[in-house]
A and B are shown apart, each in its own frame.
Chain A
């Protein structure tokens, strides 16, 4: 290996790249624009202000007592739900039909004996109908469950006090039981408002005036950085194809330059450009978007280097296999977009089905995003990203070996 020749080829390619203003736009400007748009979109700080989002829930209250109304009052107090009440003796059937037909996504039915069974200290079931073909706001179900949990706590506490009274003083009269129940409910409500054990979060090691990172940018910055390093890296494959077409690659092979030196130079300059781009975006994210890149710069550097090396190897492989610059660009674009989608750069892999997550981990983006999440969101340091770094280096090695094998001058 002749280092001066490798350096000369690498430096020349960087110069050729930098002479292309469009390439610079995609290298530096577009990632920032996309990060900004995506960050703002997911930050929740848009035109809606601080007003909470409210969801509608269809309800059929068939309860013949008062406890059903109390349950609905508690749901309304959560400030998340608006109730669409169904009236009439067949409201429960109507609710079921509306959901079955897909006219409503979900409905809550309170049974006729709700109050009665509670009074008899028996279990009672509320029915939450949902149509699987409709989008059901998870938040409506969660709100109902939260309210029910609190009411269960009231109920449990009430029964506990009455049982204790029975054991000590004998069974209470109806008036006494009512009084006890009221008292215990007031007590539980007060306890829920100010529980005995709370967790206080104190922020240490940060300047007092420092603002918390914006969660939108906290997600969009690493994802967009990985996406644009991949997109630009793979698109650079067309430069190798252009070299074949314009015969400068053949001329290089006519000079006393080894094939391995040409491949090494092509890997090297792609690695340098990708690394510079990644660190530009990391720096910009930290300074302008206040992104917290985690506790370990070394871990971040290792993840970045391994990922960029994998992208560089794949870029040279595509360039080696392609005979036409446009075909190389099309292939690169399709591969990049597919790898972004499958690797969890556009949405978290955690919310995707198991098979999707498996596919996501067959490609470098899935592992790189995993590593970024470990560093930025899950609080891991170097030890938490070693497996991902090793897998990414494996991808880099595999792609590079394949690129050398597939390398042709025309």
Chain B
């Protein structure tokens, strides 16, 4: 992480009686970064967002957004934050435009400025043609897009997205993830909570993994996988392999193990995708006839499994 952090969280604790929902969580998010909070349901992600959004006071610890304490100066902090809640927090019997105008007024935007901003956002979320339609006539994906637009009206310094793709179809999810990428490309700092590891891997520059209220790891995907020594596997099916080639491959720093198989070999590697061009070039240059290459990359699932002993999707499977 580089630059002055937009979000700075220190030893954040939230207790509900005996239950510790957030337990001494600390992390920072830099300007322009997409930071993911990844964890199963009940990990404390939404509570953390609620504290940062100034609607739940922490039991102890501190949280700053754009240098403003969210506890002691919550009114100012709230003007710097855009929040997209997990639920479609819109008025279903009002039109998309009326909803956005209302939420804009809550941020004190003058009507003339607000009208322009609403037009702009309707265009960004590609719903200009449905501006006058009631929200309850929209599909789930369209509602999600308006839900996001409502969090952007006042041009916040940072956007909190709390599991914005729950319960929507893959195509709509993809559209929303692309929209978030576009917003980030324009410089918006994003704090994104999810329990879908593929979303975290696709979107986030860095990820904080939460479990049972604690932040158990923070870093980029590669940093996290490397931190636990996780390796990827490159499986090569080929003719013409020889011992000299295998020794050469085994001597590469990123390769931890080489094993011969019936129709080729397998390499245990760190950052398999990065190593792949080197391997292919060497084999091809040595006259090896490559039939297929299969790369298995370590991911955040591996990290979560390593740190907690459970798969991230176990609880969802059990619940579903």
Q: Of A12, A247, A256, which contacts B75 at CB under 8 A? A: A256
Nearest CB in chain A: distance from B312 CB, A: 25
- Complex alpha-carbon distance, A250 and B56, angstroms: 10
| Residues of the B chain whose Cβ atoms lie less than 8 Å from the Cβ of A255 | 78, 103, 106-107
**Quick check: is B89 within 8 A (CB to CB) of the other chain?**
yes
Q: Is the CB of B78 within 8 A of A250?
A: no
| Residues of the B chain whose Cβ atoms lie less than 8 Å from the Cβ of A247 | 85-87, 89
Q: Which of B34-42, B90-98, B198-206 contacts A (4 or more CB under 8 A)?
A: B90-98
**Quick check: is B102 within 8 A (CB to CB) of the other chain?**
yes
**Quick check: is A251 within 8 A (CB to CB) of the other chain?**
yes
Q: Is the CB of A15 within 8 A of B94?
A: yes
Q: Of A9, A12, A19, A256, which contacts B107 at CB under 8 A? A: A256
The A94-135 residues at the B interface (CB cut-off 8 A) are: none
Q: Is the CB of A250 within 8 A of B55?
A: yes
| Residues of the A chain whose Cβ atoms lie less than 8 Å from the Cβ of B53 | 254
Nearest CB in chain B: distance from A350 CB, A: 45
Q: Is the CB of B108 within 8 A of A250?
A: no
0/1 string, A228-260, CB within 8 A of B gives 1: 000000000000000000111011111111100
0/1 string, A15-37, CB within 8 A of B gives 1: 11001100000000000000000
**Quick check: is B13 within 8 A (CB to CB) of the other chain?**
no
**Quick check: is A380 within 8 A (CB to CB) of the other chain?**
no
- Complex alpha-carbon distance, A19 and B94, angstroms: 8
| Residues of the A chain whose Cβ atoms lie less than 8 Å from the Cβ of B316 | none
Q: Is the CB of A251 within 8 A of B93?
A: no
**Quick check: is A2 within 8 A (CB to CB) of the other chain?**
yes
| Residues of the B chain whose Cβ atoms lie less than 8 Å from the Cβ of A258 | 75
Interface residue tally of chain A, by bracket? 20 to 34
Q: Is the CB of A256 within 8 A of B79?
A: yes
Q: Is the CB of B55 within 8 A of A4?
A: no
- Complex alpha-carbon distance, A154 and B248, angstroms: 141
The B162-206 residues at the A interface (CB cut-off 8 A) are: none
| Residues of the A chain whose Cβ atoms lie less than 8 Å from the Cβ of B79 | 256
**Quick check: is A8 within 8 A (CB to CB) of the other chain?**
yes
Residue of B nearest to A250 (CB): B55
Q: Is the CB of A254 within 8 A of B81?
A: yes
Q: Is the CB of A250 within 8 A of B89?
A: yes
Q: Is the CB of A246 within 8 A of B87?
A: yes
- Complex alpha-carbon distance, A259 and B227, angstroms: 45
Q: Of B55, B91, B98, which contacts A253 at CB under 8 A? A: B55
| Residues of the B chain whose Cβ atoms lie less than 8 Å from the Cβ of A248 | 89-91
| Residues of the B chain whose Cβ atoms lie less than 8 Å from the Cβ of A252 | 106
Residue of A nearest to B150 (CB): A251
**Quick check: is B54 within 8 A (CB to CB) of the other chain?**
yes
- Complex alpha-carbon distance, A2 and B107, angstroms: 11
Q: Is the CB of B106 within 8 A of A8?
A: yes
Q: Of B54, B87, B93, which contacts A19 at CB under 8 A? A: B93
**Quick check: is B83 within 8 A (CB to CB) of the other chain?**
yes
- Complex alpha-carbon distance, A288 and B76, angstroms: 55
| Residues of the B chain whose Cβ atoms lie less than 8 Å from the Cβ of A16 | 91, 93-94
- Chain B interfacial residues counted at CB < 8 A: 27
Nearest CB in chain A: distance from B52 CB, A: 10
Nearest CB in chain A: distance from B89 CB, A: 4
- Complex alpha-carbon distance, A255 and B83, angstroms: 9
Nearest CB in chain B: distance from A46 CB, A: 43
Q: Is the CB of B89 within 8 A of A8?
A: no
Q: Is the CB of B108 within 8 A of A254?
A: no
**Quick check: is B105 within 8 A (CB to CB) of the other chain?**
yes
The B98-115 residues at the A interface (CB cut-off 8 A) are: 98, 102-103, 105-108
Q: Is the CB of B102 within 8 A of A12?
A: yes
**Quick check: is A409 within 8 A (CB to CB) of the other chain?**
yes
Q: Which of A253, A255, A256, A409 has the most CB of B within 10 A?
A: A255
Residue of B nearest to A2 (CB): B108
| Residues of the A chain whose Cβ atoms lie less than 8 Å from the Cβ of B93 | 16, 19-20
| Residues of the A chain whose Cβ atoms lie less than 8 Å from the Cβ of B103 | 251, 255
Nearest CB in chain B: distance from A248 CB, A: 5
| Residues of the B chain whose Cβ atoms lie less than 8 Å from the Cβ of A12 | 91, 94, 102
**Quick check: is A159 within 8 A (CB to CB) of the other chain?**
no
**Quick check: is A290 within 8 A (CB to CB) of the other chain?**
no
**Quick check: is A5 within 8 A (CB to CB) of the other chain?**
yes
Q: Is the CB of A251 within 8 A of B83?
A: yes
A5 touching B105 in the complex, CB below 8 Å, given contacts A15-B94, A250-B55, A254-B54: yes
Q: Is the CB of A250 within 8 A of B85?
A: yes
| Residues of the A chain whose Cβ atoms lie less than 8 Å from the Cβ of B107 | 255-256
Residue of A nearest to B82 (CB): A254
| Residues of the A chain whose Cβ atoms lie less than 8 Å from the Cβ of B98 | 15
0/1 string, A257-284, CB within 8 A of B gives 1: 1100000000000000000000000000
- Complex alpha-carbon distance, A334 and B102, angstroms: 34
| Residues of the A chain whose Cβ atoms lie less than 8 Å from the Cβ of B150 | 251
- Complex alpha-carbon distance, A9 and B91, angstroms: 12
- Complex alpha-carbon distance, A256 and B54, angstroms: 10
- Complex alpha-carbon distance, A20 and B106, angstroms: 24
Nearest CB in chain A: distance from B65 CB, A: 12
Q: Which of A5, A9, A12 has the most CB of B within 10 A?
A: A12
- Complex alpha-carbon distance, A252 and B83, angstroms: 11
Q: Is the CB of B85 within 8 A of A8?
A: no
- Complex alpha-carbon distance, A247 and B83, angstroms: 12
| Residues of the A chain whose Cβ atoms lie less than 8 Å from the Cβ of B87 | 246-247
| Residues of the A chain whose Cβ atoms lie less than 8 Å from the Cβ of B86 | 247
- Complex alpha-carbon distance, A246 and B90, angstroms: 8
| Residues of the B chain whose Cβ atoms lie less than 8 Å from the Cβ of A8 | 102, 105-106
Nearest CB in chain B: distance from A361 CB, A: 40
Residue of B nearest to A251 (CB): B89
- Complex alpha-carbon distance, A248 and B106, angstroms: 12
Q: Is the CB of A246 within 8 A of B106?
A: no
Nearest CB in chain A: distance from B132 CB, A: 14
Q: Of B83, B91, B92, B106, which contacts A5 at CB under 8 A? A: B106
Nearest CB in chain B: distance from A338 CB, A: 31
Nearest CB in chain B: distance from A92 CB, A: 75
A-B contact pairs, 7 of them (CB 8 A): A5-B108, A15-B94, A16-B94, A247-B87, A250-B85, A254-B78, A257-B106
Q: Which residues of A contact B (CB under 8 A)?
A: 2, 4-5, 8-9, 12, 15-16, 19-20, 246-248, 250-258, 409
Top 3 nearest A-B pairs (CB, nearest first) are A255-B106, A247-B89, A251-B89
Q: A12-B102, A247-B86 are in contact. List 11 more A-B contacts (CB 8 A).
A: A5-B108, A16-B94, A246-B88, A246-B89, A250-B85, A251-B103, A251-B150, A254-B55, A254-B83, A255-B103, A256-B107
